[in-house]
Amino acid sequence: NGILRYSPDGASLVNSGMEAYWSVLYEMKNPVADIKGDRAVVADQDGTLIEIFDKDGETGSITTSYNIIKARVSSQGMVAAILDGGDATWINFYGPDGSLIAENQTHVADPGYPMDVAISDNSDIMMVTYQFVEGSQTTSYVAFYNFGDIGQSEDDRIVSGYTYEGAVIPQIEYLDSTRSAALKDNGFTIYSGTQIPKEGTTVEVKKEIVSTFFDENTIGLVFKSGKKDKQYTMQVYGIDGTLRFEKEFNVPYTTIKMSDGCILMYNSSQICVMNSRGVQKYMGSVDGTIRDFFKIGWNKYLMVLDTGVSTIKFS
On the 0-12 / 13-18 / 19+ scale of CB atoms within 10 A, 156 is middle
Q: Which residues of 5-14 are buried (b: 16+ CB within 10 A; e: fewer)?
A: bbeeebbbbb
Q: What pLDDT score does 275 carry? A: 93
**Helix, strand, coil percentages for the chain (3-state, nearest 5):** 5, 65, 35
Give the number of other Cβ atoms within 10 Å of residue 313's Cβ.
Answer: 9
Q: What pLDDT score does 133 carry? A: 87
pLDDT in tens, 79-111: 999 999 988 999 999 999 999 999 999 988 788
Cis peptide leading into 114, omega within 30 of 0?
no
Q: What pLDDT score does 307 carry? A: 82
Amino acid at 190: I
Q: What pLDDT score does 110 carry? A: 81
Q: What pLDDT score does 228 carry? A: 87
Each residue's pLDDT, cut to its tens digit, for the chain (315 residues) gives 788 999 999 999 998 778 999 999 999 999 999 999 999 999 999 999 999 999 999 999 999 999 999 999 999 999 999 999 988 999 999 999 999 999 999 988 788 999 999 999 989 999 999 999 878 889 999 999 999 899 988 988 999 999 999 999 999 999 999 999 999 999 999 999 999 999 999 999 999 999 999 999 999 999 999 888 999 999 999 999 999 999 999 999 999 999 999 999 999 999 999 999 999 999 999 888 998 999 988 888 989 888 888 888 887
| Residue from 223, 159, 164, 153 nearest 188 by CA | 164
Give the number of other Cβ atoms within 10 Å of residue 175's Cβ.
Answer: 19
**Residue 151 dihedral angles phi and psi, to the nearest 5°:** -80, -10
Alpha-carbon distance 168 to 211, whole Å?
Answer: 14
Which strands make up the sheet holding 243-249, listed edge to edge?
A: 209-215, 218-224, 232-238, 243-249
Q: What pLDDT score does 226 carry? A: 86
**Residue 153 dihedral angles phi and psi, to the nearest 5°:** -90, 0
Separation of CA 170 from chain center: 11
